[in-house]
Structure 1
């Protein structure tokens, strides 16, 4: 049985359209054959977090940040889409924590898994979020009281020098 030219042309056109759709999505960074899971977390401030930043569980990279966008709540909150490639199961009560990835200030997200017997998190769930203070913030907290003490010492040293100058001044000696 011979296949007509119209059927061959239709198969070729449909195959070409499917290939174009697949390539277009691939170039956008979305793989149609991908089985990764998507989770969301909302933050008041992402502090320099960028797309493609690592997502880790217990220090092991299991995914990346796919997208960051504003939430339509008129408060400026940001919704972060996390793309997880690993099949590691964790509770829906788990937490997405924004932290500094290194000394230079790169940001990443750590999923703090909760094993509390709650149902497992499913693709599309919104995880609770928190912010882990970074090294610069911790240093700032520790140095502020020290700065105040140094300022008091400087004022005392200034008054001491003024008194010493008045003792050794030529006019006060006579």
Structure 2
């Protein structure tokens, strides 16, 4: 009577492990192009960017943009680094260049009559973030420690020279 149970156990384990796929790096599979408002400086034009990453600039999720008084609405934000400058409408998305581990910090400046946001944003390892997110999702979704362990094993064995660096995928104006 216990024999059918033992034949199901390997299949269950195989299905659980098959669901543990390698996470896709931020930016997905389709090739992105720089946004029209991004102007590369001479330093940013050579070498050419390694990757292009989408960055969303918005108010925190807890604050609806329409609920913010008009005097606090910055219409645009200016982005600048040693490699590029850009202007983005708020809330909005812009495709920015990434130069691997050499991606420079970026200044984000948004100003209106009664609101000012001026911060330097440092680049992050987007590949490492994707693996961390996948491991957390495996625990929450139900693959448990086995799924998280497989993801951690994949993360430790990856070729770190192929990691994608860029700016955080979401920048919240606070």
Same fold at TM > 0.5: no
Select the structure with the greater relative contact order (CA < 8 A; seq sep ≥ 6): 2
Q: Normalising by the residue count of structure 2, what TM-score does the alignment of the two structures yield? A: 0.28
